[in-house]
Copies of this chain bind each other. A is one copy, B any other.
């Protein structure tokens, strides 16, 4: 691969869902803020990768203190988050102009492994857009006007991050106006007319949104 690699790590959480005073990206996992684990995963995959961290600007100072406290040395740029995830990602993309491969990752997925990062970059390099997915374990039902019906779980995949794209595709896609239908970056890219390819993720790559998830993540790290 010759293209430069850039990771945009989006951590816009304000701690509301967790019912904690501290935003979830700063909660400690094995003695260190979740967000630091996440950054380390990308740095461990490729120490040359450019890392952009998107945070609400109100959290910049606190993050800076955390970095000092934990002697966190991995170089990264801070970009101010927007009102919705779409705008947070857009703010980060606005700082990029060179031809590159861009990974967009949830700040609260600290258990991302190098294998998944590698598979996503390889597929994005090949086809332009790649996202990691996993199978469903439980049965699934679709809701419809107050009722529900069983659907075939093998027809579905759960979607994770990092979602990876050639820069020209993701930059072009984020020129669109925001839509409520944009549930993730892949949906933005698809709305712009591109197709997205699936690569295999891992079940460990959970998104930490509740204290229960934090407990799970601790278990995975043992």
Residue A74, interface by CB 8 Å: no
Produce 1/0 per residue, A138-156, CB < 8 A to B: 1111111001111111111
List residues of chain B with CB within 8 A of the CB of A142: 155-156
- Cα of A198 to Cα of B184 in the assembled complex, Å: 28
List residues of chain B with CB within 8 A of the CB of A93: none
Contacting residue for A212 out of B152, B181, B203, B209, CB 8 A: B203
- Cα of A203 to Cα of B215 in the assembled complex, Å: 12
Q: 14 A-B Cβ contacts within 8 A? A: A136-B158, A137-B206, A138-B158, A138-B159, A138-B207, A139-B183, A140-B157, A143-B157, A150-B159, A150-B183, A152-B183, A204-B212, A215-B219, A215-B220
- Cα of A207 to Cα of B133 in the assembled complex, Å: 20
- A contact residues, total (Cβ < 8 Å): 46
Seed contacts A138-B160, A143-B154, A218-B219; 14 additional CB < 8 Å A-B pairs: A138-B158, A138-B159, A139-B158, A139-B159, A141-B198, A143-B156, A150-B183, A151-B156, A152-B181, A152-B183, A203-B212, A215-B222, A216-B216, A219-B219
